[in-house]
Structure 1
Amino acid sequence: MDVTVAQLEALLAVGEHGSFTRAGQELGRTQSAVSRAIAALESALGGPVVHRGEIGFTELGRTVAKHASSVLEGLRAINDLAADIRTPTLRVGAVASALVRFVPAGVLRLRRDWPRSQVLALQGEDDELLAWLADGTVDLAVTTQPGPDSQRALEDEFLAVVPKEHPASRRKRIRLAELIRLGVADPGGTCGPALAEGFAAHGVEWRPDHVVRDVGTVVAMAAAGITAGVAPAMALPDPPPPAVVIRPLEPRLSRAVYLHYCPADRDVVHLVEHLTTW
């Protein structure tokens, strides 16, 4: 006896909707396809499963339908299990600024195509992230420093974060020397050295009045009117708090963001493809 899933689905749909036509609409098939499936099922079983006048199950049909429900439920559970097996947990290590919007945005795009995906994120500094990748703690590292076989993911622009009530907030761009005169907060991490190098390249000394540990503190200080600040674009909230304005620097300064991973790991490559659409 050769009973198929399509035949069992047709049987349950006919029983639910009382019509071959409506059953076909539910299953995305034609009325004739449903009719053929029922006829093939009856041929395999050796007896009718549906009354053809006022459509309803025969005694045989009711018994088969009861078992069909269990069979299809079991198949769905098996498919779910297979999907879980095919979808490993991906571990991403990243610098703090990349965890604000860059990594979350890539994960959201990934889940549209891969709804069961699981991504664990760990925060670290550049040197420890590469060590984590080397010892297998993470599958993908997002850093601000290049490494062997790293992929340059994007240019992350540095932007001025200015209290909305400050006169400088009315300018379209803020010059580097002017920002130093305003008083500025350094967001910490690898941003400080990058900013010092960028300012020096344009003949301006990077002299922050405050050095903090994260971009959130820079934004909070500017919102409170304490100081202006500088932060990488991908770490800034979007939209920013109403008490601050975000302005480009003049001249423009930026840093590179790099991805480090094993190109042979197809699951990680799939995530990387969604990150690099940023």
Structure 2
Amino acid sequence: MGVTVNQLEVLLAVAERGSFTAAAVALGITQSAASRAVATLERHLGVPLLTRGIGGARLTARGRQVAEHARAALDQVRAIEALSRPEPAQRLRIGAGASASSHLVPAAVTRLAEDWPASDVLTVQGDDDELAGWLADATIDLAVTSTPIDSGDHYARTEITDDFLAALPGRHPLAQLAPVPLADLLAAGVADPGGTCGPNLAAGFAAHGLSWQPAHLVRDVETVLAMVRAGITAGILPALSVAATPAGVALLPLDPPLHRTLHVHHAPADELAGRLAAFLAHTEPASSRFAAARTQRRVSS
């Protein structure tokens, strides 16, 4: 029989502890079993590996050479054994605002799960101030905010451009246009989806000489879509908050185009958060996802 893992483990344990007794205790075997393992190894190799005396056991010159190879061999054995163990789950805690939580974050998490099956993802929703606080006290690992978090160089930051789209009832005259003029949309009566979209839209309209005066102010994208589908109002929505064109609603680009910027923050050393940030940054743009709505003025019914 050739050299065994057990023999190498005993040899190294004796060399590190200086006695068979201490080595046996560390390995959970009897002293006689430890002595037999080393003796068998020495017979197989044909050379003494340890000197034994009142002062304990010490490696011989050849023993030191064998011990060096034994350490490398045992490292390889442990690496092989590790391959059969399930990869420990890596937890990633994500915080995002309402609109990013509806489509952008779930789509990126799905991609992350495909590439990193051992990931364990938890998503929480909050406003920008809450997200900044949670990130600062390590309650979350990654935050998607509509305003940048002022943290110096403490966080890595990725920026995502999110187009605003006109949301119109399917039979509305403006639904036949692509893109939809800002002034015409405003005159038709429009709903503000709430959050930080209002200030973004106000700045965007002002840049084109228009005053942002929504007819309705609501708190979330789903409510705007429900009102549009019912024919109550038109709306303006961030594209990344909508997964697909809902039935009875037309989603169309604006003329001139308006957009907002989302900010993804995470610790630079967090590999899993960095991977998700990359997926978020490469989310399919609205220009692709709603191409059919533009070119065909598609209206689901």
**TM-score when normalising by structure 1:** 0.69
Contact 2:158 2:265 in 1 (8 A): no
Instruction: For 1:227-238, list aligned pairs within 5 A.
Output: 227-238=233-244
Letter of the 2:246 counterpart: P
Letter of the 2:275 counterpart: H
Aligned-partner Cα distance in 2 for 1:249–1:88: 41
Unaligned ranges ≥5, structure 1 = 5-74
Instruction: For 1:200-211, list aligned pairs within 5 A.
Output: 200-211=206-217
Alignment match, 1:215: 221
Query: What SS is found at the alignment partner of 1:196?
Result: helix
How many angstroms does 1:270 deviate by? Answer: 2.4
* Pair 249,190 (structure 1): closer, same or farther in 2 beyond 3 Å: same
CA radius of gyration, larger in? 2
Alignment match, 1:114: 116
How many angstroms does 1:131 deviate by? Answer: 0.9
Aligned-partner Cα distance in 1 for 2:225–2:272: 36
Instruction: For 1:24-103, list aligned pairs within 5 A.
Output: 79-80=85-86, 83=87, 85=88, 87-103=89-105
Query: What SS is found at the alignment partner of 2:247?
Result: coil
Contact 1:186 1:230 in 2 (8 A): yes
How many angstroms does 1:268 deviate by? Answer: 1.7
Aligned-partner Cα distance in 2 for 1:277–1:175: 28
Q: Deviations over 1:133-184 (max 9, x none)?
A: 0011100000111133452331100110000111111011111111111000
How many angstroms does 1:77 deviate by? Answer: 11
Contact 2:168 2:174 in 1 (8 A): yes
Alignment match, 1:133: 135
Instruction: For 1:109-258, list aligned pairs within 5 A.
Output: 109-147=111-149, 148=151, 149=153, 150-238=156-244, 240-258=245-263
Alignment match, 1:267: 272
Aligned-partner Cα distance in 1 for 2:229–2:243: 13
**TM-score when normalising by structure 2:** 0.64
How many angstroms does 1:91 deviate by? Answer: 0.3
Aligned-partner Cα distance in 1 for 2:173–2:103: 29
Alignment match, 1:43: none
Q: Deviations over 1:195-246 (max 9, x none)?
A: 11111111111111111110111111111111000000000131x1220101
How many angstroms does 1:3 deviate by? Answer: 11
Query: What SS is found at the alignment partner of 2:200?
Result: helix
Q: How many residues align?
A: 203
Aligned-partner Cα distance in 2 for 1:112–1:2: 44
How many angstroms does 1:255 deviate by? Answer: 0.6
Aligned-partner Cα distance in 1 for 2:94–2:2: 47
How many angstroms does 1:90 deviate by? Answer: 0.5
Aligned-partner Cα distance in 1 for 2:93–2:114: 18
Query: Once the two structures are aligned, what percentage of the paired residues are identical?
Result: 50
Q: Deviations over 1:64-92 (max 9, x none)?
A: xxxxxxxxxxx899612xx1x2x221100
Aligned-partner Cα distance in 2 for 1:177–1:217: 23
How many angstroms does 1:250 deviate by? Answer: 0.8
Alignment match, 2:28: none
* Pair 223,111 (structure 1): closer, same or farther in 2 beyond 3 Å: same
Query: What SS is found at the alignment partner of 2:85?
Result: helix
RMSD: 2.0
Letter of the 1:161 counterpart: A
Alignment match, 1:17: none
Query: What SS is found at the alignment partner of 2:178?
Result: coil
Aligned-partner Cα distance in 2 for 1:274–1:229: 28
Unaligned ranges ≥5, structure 2 = 5-80, 284-301
Report which stretch shifted further, 151-160 or 180-189: 151-160
How many angstroms does 1:103 deviate by? Answer: 0.8
Contact 1:152 1:256 in 2 (8 A): no
Aligned-partner Cα distance in 2 for 1:98–1:243: 23
